[in-house]
Every structure is written in structure tokens, then in C-alpha cells.
Amino acid sequence: MALDAAPPGTGAEGLSAYPPEETWDHVESLDPAAWPKRVRRTHRLVPTTCFNCEANCGLLAWVDKETGLITKFEGNPVHPASRGRNCAKGPATINQVQDPERILHPMKRVGERGEGLWERITWDQALDEIGTRIGNAFREERHHEVMYHVGRMGDDTYMERVLHSWGIDGHNSHTNICSSGARMGYASWMGFDRPSADFANAKVIFLISSHLEAGHYFNPHAQRIIEGQQNGATVICIDPRLSNTASKADHWFSAWPGTEAFLLLAIARLLIRDGTWDAAFFERWVNWETFLTESRPDLDPVFANVGPALLELYAEYTPEAAARICGIDEDRLRTVARTIGEGLGGFASHTWRASSAGNEGGWMVARCLQLLTVLTGSVGTVGGTNANGWNKFIPVTPLHPEPQGRWNEMQWPIEYPLSHHEMSILLPHFLKAGRGYLDTYFTRVYNPLWTNPDGFTWMEVLRDTDKIGCHVALTPTWNESAWFADYVLPMGIASERHDVASFETHNGRWIGFRQPVARRHRELNGETIERTHEANPGEVWEEQEFFIDLSWRIDPDGSLGIRSQFESIQDPGKPLTLDEYYSMLFENSVPGLPEEAEALGITPLEYMRRKGSFSLPGDQTQVYERDVPAADLEGAVRDAKGVWRRPGTAGSHESLEEIRGHMPFIGDGSPAVDINGEPKFGFPTPSRKLEFFSETIRDWGWPEYSMPTFIRSQVHWEDLDMSAGERILVPTFRVPTLIHTRSSNSQWLNEISHRHPLWLHPGDAEELGIEENGLVRITTRIGHFVIQAWRTEGIRPGVVAASHHMGRWRLEDDKARSWGTGKASIEQDGDGRWKLQREQGVEAYESDDPDTGLIWWTDTGVHQNLTFPVQPDPVSGMHCWLQRVTVSPAEPGDAYGDVVVDTGASHRIFEEWLAKARPGPGPDGLRRPLWFARPVKPKATAYRYDG
């Protein structure tokens, strides 16, 4: 709290929520540690952004001017998305800074991989050895053997620039354990693969999401959902659990997992039947002509036939049928449909993980939810649901190299031509199957052994030097995967690095700037800092500078054409600096920022360093309705469907906007669509309209899914033998206070949350003979785990659930124990099955931080993901997280935290799911539709499949 800044009469003499911005360079406050003495301390407040989820909320780091150390983090009140409000994980960044067990220096393995023996090395040695290795691979044309696998990106564009410069198709992500399903559903409608709901102005808020609105992800969304509800919006939530979101909702449907698309289509049918849909919007912006001509050639292609044809298409989706299939109340369904119909234009909807990430066909849940957004005429309206690309702002990077021209089958296999994005979960199986070898494999803030399904298969390939020649873990903390690395290189957390990022949080666009706080503070004090690791704790660095210096070591003489991409323009022959890079970016790529900065008499870079964010001017409502000026149509020809196309430009990368890959581009250079005689901007789809009928899905092997429909899940309840103890396991939710893996390095977060019992309905508990708090054995197709039960009526009978943020383990006593990691042992039994056993939970220990001696909790949870086989959806590539399991009381000899897995069985199940795929190439011999987005998008020539 700041002194002397409260508005008069507030009753909070001397206190205010935030120090006024103009005082941030010098804020006086009382030292709470000195209480009851009144000791004044002075701080400089340096803006940065949170790195604990992708929302990138604004933070203010309080730097003690006397010590130069950060003493706390608070929200940044001028950040347009978070507005000074954060979830618990934002301020808990201070725990990560002060974590006594964080990695402070570069480390190199000295024993066998996984043996746990390390030596401290210099950054110079690390750069030299890794750079030489990669340079050799490039000179020997082994580009496919270098891979960068990222968990938490941090920056929206930087690595794309690096990987294009290196000329490799080497980007891998965590997306297919996260959001591939939802992305496919949205992309097939509108090109953009993510929704952006305007919750604050909505009439109806419709949520199928296990994280987002519970505040785990996107606190900026959560605060606007509450605003919307306070303003009168009706909140509807679908979740088998009584989640935080469900508990706040006006209507909660605890539907059978995997039946959500059926429920949505039943609502769609009621809207059409009752005439409470926005037919005018549908006629204007949906490719209904294609729908009629392709699916109903018996009808005249006139709009009057659309409503009746839709009703026939969805005839089976009655409220009665939905009540039976989904296990919900049909009267409530009718009530909800009426409410939605009364709120046309103001339907703010969202699905991300949850059902879309849990089920085979989960992508269709997003496609059916978007159908409701379309039927209600709420696309891009105030209070409706926009496309993310129209609210998230990604600047074009300066010095952007030519797109690289290679295609790597290890991430983009021919079996999954429509996947969104890389088939990351299959990497270890591809390595096992001999489909490739990795010379140098970077994991970057990513712990695949723990986070992914089938972790023991990851462990097998990570320890095998014949499959992965060198594993470089770029990580701020020790983790299960880093254990099996050759180099562990410490990278900075939120206050120790540069990143530029933006997310769709509301009706508007913004850009946020993360910066290394200690470096900024010392530079303001007049010091010269060459590299960020000089100012960070220990020798902790940041990826941005690391990759500049590494690129120089890869190409020391410039003969590979790489070094030139990382050379200073101002000072040729020297490495590019980040001040130079971000100056160029903010001066040239962020509309409105140079003018705002000039008005304050500062540079755009200084503006971002002072404020940490910028709100872009302009209205992003219904962007698709924008007129396209005649000049932009030059060289384009209007085709029979009204799309203006430029002949001969198929797959070209004329536009830097398109090169970025995160954004869809029109492969044929289409600039507009004809709407009632006017050229309009439209959507980045082949028809430039919203695609109810997707010719792409049909032409790429899935004609039965060309229109929104219901796909039966791998855990469909009617297929289960409940009497034999089978149930559906939902592992796709988290508590709002923990992160995938990095929260075990946070004291406060572990003090708040350190259990994840199995949610179990009392009726199921009775039937299955499971005591309150009793141990339960959960058996999957490849093994089992042992967890503790929690009887609760907050879950649907027939479904059990365990949150997926816990179960961290370590193999050594004195490494990576921190605040939430249990000591474990791993061994193989006589049948070759892996067994993980918990030897002890977390416990108090001596360190520089006296608080580690006060740890009072012991539970560290159960690593359930190890027991899940890979289950890639054959269309979207999404790992289908929900498991068909047998639930039984623990057996004699079972202990809490036990995990047993047969990786031979997991490989057989990989082959089983692989056989469901319908391999490309697709039309024109392409590997993937040119218009689909993908990261680090290669040249169009790389799309040609030549066997």
C-alpha cells in the first residue's frame, strides 16, 4: 500500500489500492516486517507481466531501492486486461524469485543420463558445445534432427523468427494436450482457432470450460464474467463437476462427459424450431448455399429452405433425446433455449479444454457451440463472441527472415493432415518406431514426462541416447524431464526476461511487455548491463538473448546465413541487442504506440518499459463487415461464389501478417467477399464466410463431419459396464491456485492447495465399497494408480475426477523438493512394468529460507498422467484425456501414490489409435490445407507431399 494517496473520506487514511502511476519511480511505504515499528522504505515499481499462465496479466514489481531486491508483486492498474487484479499465482511470483531450490547456474550432466550427476559450467561453454552441435547438423543437412519443444511460450513471435532463421521445421508445442480440439472446432467455422467472448456486455454467458472461468486461466475473463452477471447476464455452465464456475451459474448442466455436442444441437434445434434465431445474419454470413447444394440437392438453393433443412438435419436432437443421452433435465434445457433465444446478439460463449480436450470428437463440441453463437447472430458483436485474432494483437517481428521450406514429419505426420497443432504426444512413439532421431532436443518451460500422458514412454526415450542425442532443458526449475537432460540451463521467470504477448480478454486489443526487473532498475540507476544474466539472480538468463548468442555460435563465420539475422543494425558485426530489437518492434509494428509515446516525449520502447502494456486504438466489433476499398481488389477476380481471388498467388506469403503462422491466411490471396454487391472483409476461410458446411473437412477425408454433429466419445456412458466398476475419469481440471508444474516452487500456492483427492459421488462410493477418505485403485488400459477418495455430491454419479496439477516427484533427496514434490523411486517389475512409489511426501527442511523449516503439509498428490495411454483424436489430433477406468478399493500392498504402467501396452494402444486416422495427402497432393493456421508456417512448397 502506498502512503498518503487515498482519496479523502475513504476511511483508509494514508492507504490506496495502487500508488499513482506518476509516483512509481519513488514510492514510500511502511515495512510490514518491521511492525510494530513504523519503518519507512522506498521502492521503485517496475512493470512486467505474469508468466504463470498465458493470460499475461500485468504485474508491478516492487524493487527496494536500498537493496535492489524485489520485495513483492502486485497488479498493474494500467494494464488494460487485468486492470490491477490478479489471481493468487500473480503475486506468488515472489516465491518463485526467492525459491531456495531454483536453478541458478548452467549445469551439464557428468554421469549416465538420468543418473543425477551434474557439474556447473559457464554460459560460454554451454553456448559453444550446443552451438557447434547444431551447426554441424545444419551443415550435414540434418535439419530435422533439431527440435524446440515449448510448454509456456511467453512471447508470441520471437521463436518463430529464430526457427525460420535456422531454416528448420523444428517447432513443437504442448497444444495437443491442451487445446487442439477446441481450435479445430473454431477454425473449421471461421479460420481463427479461438473464441474471444465479450463477457462484460453479454446477455447470456455460456461456458463449457473447466479452467478458464474458475480463475485458473484468464483472471481477466473471470472478472468480466462476474461483471456481466452483475449487469444481468444469465450464466449457463456445462460441467460434470460442481466447479467454481458451475457454483456461480444460473443454470448448471452436469451432462454425461462427451455428450455436450448433443446438448448444444438440441438447443440449436429449439432456436430454429421456435424462430428465435437470427436468420438474417445466417443468410448474410453463413455459406448456406453450399450447405443446400452439397447436402440437399433435392431442394432449391434458396434461403427459405435453410430453416426446414436444418430442422430435418437435427430432427433427432429433441429435448427428450438430449435428456436421455446427456442425462439432463429437459425442462431446464427448454428454459435455457428460451433464454438464449431472447438474448440474440449477446451470446458470449467459450469452450477450451474440458470436453473438447477430453473426448474423441471433442472438437465437435466447439463446432456445435460456435453454431449457437452463429444462430444467435453474436459473432463479433458487443456482448457476443469475436474471433481471437480480432482481439489478440500480434505485432509483425522486425527483421523477419524468409519462411523456412522444410516439413518435419515428426511433428506433422501425414496421418493427421488436419491436426491443430503438432502431434506432440506421439513423439516418443515415433522415436520408438524408428521414424526419426533427434540430435538436439530443447525442452523449454516444458516437462513432458510429467505433463503429457504416458510419461514412462517419455522417460524411456529421454534416457536413450540412441534416440535423443542431446537434451537441453531450458527451465527455471528442476523437473522430472530436466532430470533426463544433458544440459539444464536456467531461464528467467516473470521478472527476469523480455517477452511481448497479447491475449483475447475483452472487446479491444492490447499488447503487454514483460521485462527483466532488476536489469531495468539497475539501468535506471545508470549501470550498463550487456546481458540479462548479469542482473538476474545467479546466472539466470532469458531465451531471447540466449538464442541470439546461440545463433552466433551455430554460424560463427556467417556461412549458413543464420548469423546475419542476429546482427546489430546499428553496430554491424556485433550481436543484436534486445533494446534495438524491441525499439524496432514498438516503433514500426504497434499502431498508435509511437504517437502516444511522442505525446509523452518518450520513445515507444520507453513507454512500454514504464507502463508494461499498451491498449491499441480502434473498434474490433464485427470486423468482417468492413468495406474493402477498390484499390485492395486490384488484380482480383470475383468468382461464382462471390469471393474475390487473385489468380496465381496460391499459398504465397506476400503478407507478413500471413507469414506469422499463428494467424490464418488465405492461401489464394483472397481479399474480400461480395455481400449484397459490396466487397466485405469477411472471414479467413475458403468461402470467406462462416462455414457451416466445411468442404475442407469433407475433401480431407471426413465427409460425415462436414457439418456440426455429435460424435460418440471413447468414454460414452452407454458403453461402460458400471456393474463391473467401470466409470469415467475426468482428469482435465485444476484448482485456480496451481500451475502445471512450476507451482511446486511456490510456497504460498502450496500452502493454499496441496491435495487432489478423487471426486466420487456417495452413491458410487457405496456401490463400489469405497470408504470416506479410503484408498482407491484406478485401473486404466495400461496400468493403475492409487489415490484417496473424497465423497461429494458435487459430481455426477458414474463419473470420478482428479485434478491434474499434483503428483510431482523427485528422485533425489536434496534436489527439486521445494514446496510440493515428493521423494519417489522408480523400478521395473519382473513383467517389465514401471512402478513409481512414493517414499515420502514433502517435509520441512533446512535452507537459506527459514520458511522451509515450517512446512506442515505432506501430501504431494498422485502422478495419474503416467497411467494414461496416448489417445489422439483422428481429426484434430487432440489427446483425448478422459479415461474409461475401473474404480475399486485399494488392494493389499497398494500404497497412496503408487503408479504402475506397462509401456508395451501403451505402444499397442498408440498403434490402435493411429489406425483410426485417415492419412493425407489431401486435394492437390498437399499435406495440409494451405489456409489452416500452423506455427512457424513453412513456404507453400513444403506442403507438397512427395512420399
Name the site residues for ligand SF4 (rule: CB under 6 A).
Answer: 50, 52-53, 55-57, 82, 86-87, 89-90, 218-219
State in Å, rounded, how far the first CA of the chain is from the last one.
64
C-beta of 82: minimal distance to ligand SF4 in Å? 6
* Continuous H helices in 301-421: 306-313, 319-322, 330-342, 363-375
Nearest residue (CB) to ligand SF4, 87 versus 130:
87
| 785: three-class secondary structure by DSSP | strand
C-beta of 88: minimal distance to ligand SF4 in Å? 7
Distance from C-alpha of 482 to C-alpha of 427, rounded to nearest angstrom: 17
Distance from C-alpha of 804 to C-alpha of 241, rounded to nearest angstrom: 14
Residue 903: alpha-carbon gap to chain centroid: 27
C-beta of 510: minimal distance to ligand SF4 in Å? 13
Distance from C-alpha of 536 to C-alpha of 518, rounded to nearest angstrom: 6
Nearest residue (CB) to ligand SF4, 93 versus 355:
93
Nearest residue (CB) to ligand SF4, 739 versus 795:
739
C-beta of 85: minimal distance to ligand SF4 in Å? 8
C-beta of 243: minimal distance to ligand SF4 in Å? 16
Report the number of secondary-structure helices (H) and strands (E) in the chain.
26, 34
Cis check: omega of the bond before 921, within 30 degrees of 0:
yes
C-beta of 377: minimal distance to ligand SF4 in Å? 31
Q: Which of 698, 700, 670 is nearest to 686 (CA)?
A: 670
CB 177, CB 425: distance < 8 Å: yes
Nearest residue (CB) to ligand SF4, 165 versus 753:
753
CB 158, CB 631: distance < 8 Å: no
C-beta of 223: minimal distance to ligand SF4 in Å? 10
C-beta of 52: minimal distance to ligand SF4 in Å? 4
CB 243, CB 260: distance < 8 Å: no
Nearest residue (CB) to ligand SF4, 211 versus 716:
211
Q: Which of 7, 25, 57, 22 is nearest to 612 (CA)?
A: 57
* Continuous H helices in 426-494: 427-432, 448-451, 455-462
Nearest residue (CB) to ligand SF4, 96 versus 481:
96
C-beta of 89: minimal distance to ligand SF4 in Å? 4
Which residue type occupies 277? W
Q: Which residues pair with 118 in a beta bridge?
A: 109
User: What cell numbers appear for 72 in the block?
Assistant: 513483492
Nearest residue (CB) to ligand SF4, 90 versus 872:
90
C-beta of 944: minimal distance to ligand SF4 in Å? 40
- The neighbour count for residue 414, using CB atoms within 10 Å, is 16
Cis check: omega of the bond before 36, within 30 degrees of 0:
yes
User: What cell numbers appear for 805 in the block?
Assistant: 496439477
Nearest residue (CB) to ligand SF4, 86 versus 515:
86
* Continuous H helices in 569-691: 578-588, 593-600, 604-611, 656-659
C-beta of 51: minimal distance to ligand SF4 in Å? 7
C-beta of 57: minimal distance to ligand SF4 in Å? 3
CB 424, CB 411: distance < 8 Å: yes
User: What cell numbers appear for 454 in the block?
Assistant: 504416458
What sign does the CA torsion over 560, 565, 569, 574 have? negative
C-beta of 214: minimal distance to ligand SF4 in Å? 11
415-451: buried (b, 16+ CB within 10 Å) or exposed (e) per residue? Answer: bbbbbbbbbbbbbbbbbbeeebebbbbbbbbbbbbbb
Nearest residue (CB) to ligand SF4, 53 versus 672:
53
Nearest residue (CB) to ligand SF4, 820 versus 872:
820
User: What cell numbers appear for 558 in the block?
Assistant: 556467417
Nearest residue (CB) to ligand SF4, 55 versus 147:
55
Sequence length of the chain is: 947
Distance from C-alpha of 56 to C-alpha of 89, rounded to nearest angstrom: 11
User: What cell numbers appear for 570 in the block?
Assistant: 546499428
C-beta of 222: minimal distance to ligand SF4 in Å? 8
Nearest residue (CB) to ligand SF4, 750 versus 852:
750
Angle at CA 731, nearest 5°, toward 256 and 238? 35
C-beta of 86: minimal distance to ligand SF4 in Å? 4
Looking at residue 107, the DSSP 8-state letter turns out to be E
Nearest residue (CB) to ligand SF4, 381 versus 745:
745
Which residue type occupies 533? H
User: What cell numbers appear for 249 in the block?
Assistant: 451459474
Which residue type occupies 40? R
Nearest residue (CB) to ligand SF4, 217 versus 446:
217
- The neighbour count for residue 905, using CB atoms within 10 Å, is 15
Distance from C-alpha of 239 to C-alpha of 246, rounded to nearest angstrom: 7
Query: What H or E segment, with its residue span, contains residue 223?
Result: helix 219-230
Angle at CA 171, nearest 5°, toward 169 and 177? 135
Nearest residue (CB) to ligand SF4, 222 versus 800:
222
C-beta of 398: minimal distance to ligand SF4 in Å? 26
CB 25, CB 49: distance < 8 Å: no
Nearest residue (CB) to ligand SF4, 359 versus 502:
502
Nearest residue (CB) to ligand SF4, 52 versus 507:
52
Distance from C-alpha of 917 to C-alpha of 412, rounded to nearest angstrom: 13
C-beta of 81: minimal distance to ligand SF4 in Å? 9
Looking at residue 665, the DSSP 8-state letter turns out to be -
C-beta of 542: minimal distance to ligand SF4 in Å? 18
Nearest residue (CB) to ligand SF4, 56 versus 747:
56
